[in-house]
Amino acid sequence: MLRVAVLVAACAVALAYNPILDTTTCCSCQTLLPNNVPDNVEPQRMPSPFKIIVSRNYYAPLEEIKVNLTAEGDTYFRSFMIVAWATDYRSDNQLRKAVGKWDAVDGTPVAKDCLNNQEDGEALRSTTMDAKRMVKLAWRSPERYGHLEFRATFVVDDDTYWAKEKSQMIVDPKADPPTTKAPLPQIIDPINSAGCGKQKGCYRYPHGCWELYCEYIATWEDHGTHITFEVGAHTDGLDDRWVSLALSNDTYMGDDMVMDCVHNSENHQTKVSLSYNEPGKKQNRNLPEYLTNKALVFQEGSHFNGRIRCRFQIRKYNKDSTGRVVALTGNKWHIILARGNAVQGNKLRHGLLEHQLPVVSPYKVSLQTIPDVHDRARYPLVKAHGCLMLFAFVFCSSIALLLTKYYKPMWPNKRFFEQRYWFVVHFNLMALAFLVVIIAIILIFVEAGGWSLTPDLPQRAHPILGIIIFICILINPIIALFRPSEDNKCRPVFNWFHWAFGTIANVLAIPNIFIGMDFGKAMIPWWATWIMVFWVIFHLIIEVTLEVHQCCTHKKNKERRKKYEAMKRDNPKNYIQEPEPAGRRFKRSLLWLHLTVTTIITIIMIIVIAVC
Ligand SMILES: *[C@@H]1O[C@H](CO)[C@@H](O)[C@H](O)[C@H]1NC(C)=O
């Protein structure tokens, strides 16, 4: 029963990781981003169902503008913050200043924020967490501040929020017309993919996409003295984003020349810069600006409507003494396309989940050729690691542990090479699992080039948990070598340690498999997680059923045992068969059921991991 309790506790911990009570609330006044957002939760990429509806798109001092925050369909938000900002805001270091005063017309409980001194404007934030479908507000400003826009962040729950959604522009009629004053987002021509493979080399993902629908696209065209590059990516449409093209000798980050296309929302500019990935480290560093200026002939870029793109020309022979900038000719490279978030024009590192992982061309290309590359490099060692671990923990160890826990009394009179059946299966499956785990660990160390930690939780925990599990399953066969005989008084101590290490390993392994499936490099489709969830629930049900069954038959078995002991005492010379346990037919069918389902699920999962 203890093992079940531990498993249940592990589930509780897993659930606690996703707390039902949301901690996310709105918002920091300067950034308009929510507080207490769990790790790894990012603002939504899809268009927001929440809108800022205004009664007028111009303003005059002290005239009220009615503002409705609405939710489409049956969506709702729990928490929000809204502020009015000037649109001609340009300075990089200055904080944005809230403009005007707010009132909640419909009595929604709110608090005012960003109040530094009396003349300043304020932001408005909700103070209750109930579901809101419509909030009516009123805004007025004592003065003119040029053209304005309302920005609001809507928090639904811990996993879902939309940040800094814009209203339409609120024009100041006395200011210069917005087209000249407020820098509107410039949009450059889309990347034409019709010429892919004919006039220019392309790498697009997914296969055959055209620019507006590509997750990533890069093109190159050699003009003799320089090369024209185009690079673009889909983004979540939020302010500061980047996309980069790296030239790499392998399919990994490290020792690569990188061309960045970074959007800075503070000045509405999308700029190209050069950087490099440090050898042997997963780190990107900017190159000094003069190197970029020396290399670039021309550049343009835009970030609009969820598309970031740059078009630029780079001189072919910029090779510098540091070797960070390479001559763009006479070599072949893997093309790496990556994207991520930025802050004021500075790139932040990309994530490692499936949709955040850079795509890498499966083979090397020369920039003087015009292939139309699609598909992405795969990481067979990662996949092999996943398959092996799944086989070891889902198949081998779950069956082996089930037998030890519930099937010891079964088949009491049968032996296989003088050993009981359960022991033969337990021993062999565990030995197999042990070997398989060691191979899997070696593979992943080879892939990662040694011990490496990913920056974010829960991925960061994967190798650490892995090592703890590995130590447990390393200790177990060692202490099994020194297993005392059955009547030795140390045997219960042995049994206890053997049980404890085995249980710790198994209980940690299952969550670790779930974490592992999230690694982008494994490229496991999201729905595979549900297959695993189904299996875990199935396994738990089998365990609980067997546990209950064991309780129910306990008395009967004890009586049979007593009778057997008595008979043995009375006839010490005769061989007497050990009693068969009660309910053995039921137990046998459960074992078959578990074996069948687990085998099928293991096979499906291994195929999914290997093929996808
Ligand atoms: C806000 O909603 C109310 C009620 O639905 C409506 O009467 C009012 O016109 C709306 N205001 C704006 C600015 O759309």
In the predicted model, is pLDDT for residue 9 greater than 70? no
Lowest-confidence pick of 111-115, 134-138, 228-232: 111-115
Q: What's the pLDDT score for residue 74?
A: 86
Ligand 1 binding pocket mutation candidate from 59, 68, 137, 150 (most atoms within 8 A of CB): 68
In the predicted model, is pLDDT for residue 23 greater than 50? yes
221 vs 224: CA distance, rounded Å = 9
Q: What's the pLDDT score for residue 591?
A: 94
Q: What's the pLDDT score for residue 119?
A: 67
* Residue that the structure tokens 């889309």 belong to: 190
In the predicted model, is pLDDT for residue 516 greater than 60? yes
Q: What's the pLDDT score for residue 97?
A: 81
Distance in Å, CA 115 to ligand 1 centroid: 28
Distance in Å, CA 134 to ligand 1 centroid: 9
Which of 438, 436, 466, 439 lies closest to 451, judged by CA? 466
Q: Tell me how far CA of residue 320 lies from CA of 258, 287, 366, in angstroms.
A: 14, 11, 20
Q: What's the pLDDT score for residue 77?
A: 93
Phi and psi at residue 555, to the nearest 5° = -65, -45
68 in contact with ligand 1, CB cutoff 6 A: yes
Lowest-confidence pick of 283-292, 306-315, 483-492: 483-492
Which of 423, 396, 411, 266 lies closest to 344, judged by CA? 266
Distance in Å, CA 599 to ligand 1 centroid: 59
133 in contact with ligand 1, CB cutoff 6 A: no
Distance in Å, CA 68 to ligand 1 centroid: 6
Q: What's the pLDDT score for residue 18?
A: 46
Distance in Å, CA 112 to ligand 1 centroid: 22
66 in contact with ligand 1, CB cutoff 6 A: yes
The protein residue whose alpha carbon is closest to atom 2 in ligand 1 is: 68
In the predicted model, is pLDDT for residue 144 greater than 50? yes
105 in contact with ligand 1, CB cutoff 6 A: no
Q: What is the pTM of this model?
A: 0.65
Question: For 211-229, how does the pLDDT look when each residue is reduced to its tens digit (9 = 90+)?
Answer: 888 999 999 999 988 999 9
Q: What's the pLDDT score for residue 513?
A: 94
Phi and psi at residue 545, to the nearest 5° = -60, -45
Question: For 220-272, how does the pLDDT look when each residue is reduced to its tens digit (9 = 90+)?
Answer: 999 988 999 999 999 887 778 999 999 999 888 888 999 999 998 877 889 99
Q: What's the pLDDT score for residue 16?
A: 47
Question: For 156-212, how does the pLDDT look when each residue is reduced to its tens digit (9 = 90+)?
Answer: 988 889 888 888 888 888 887 765 444 556 788 889 888 899 999 999 998 888 888
Phi and psi at residue 244, to the nearest 5° = -135, 150
Q: What's the pLDDT score for residue 4?
A: 45
Question: For 372-411, how does the pLDDT look when each residue is reduced to its tens digit (9 = 90+)?
Answer: 998 888 889 999 999 999 999 999 999 999 998 898 888 8
Ligand 1 binding pocket mutation candidate from 50, 51, 52, 53 (most atoms within 8 A of CB): 53
Cβ-contact 42, 236 below 8 angstroms: yes
55 in contact with ligand 1, CB cutoff 6 A: yes
Atom of ligand 1 nearest to the CA of 134: 2
70 in contact with ligand 1, CB cutoff 6 A: no
Atom of ligand 1 nearest to the CA of 54: 13
362: how many CB neighbours lie within 10 A of its CB? Answer: 15
If you count them, how many residues does the chain have?
612
User: In the chain, what percentage of residues exceed pLDDT 90?
Assistant: 40
Beta strands in 440-505 (DSSP E): none
Distance in Å, CA 135 to ligand 1 centroid: 10
Average model confidence (pLDDT) across the chain: 86
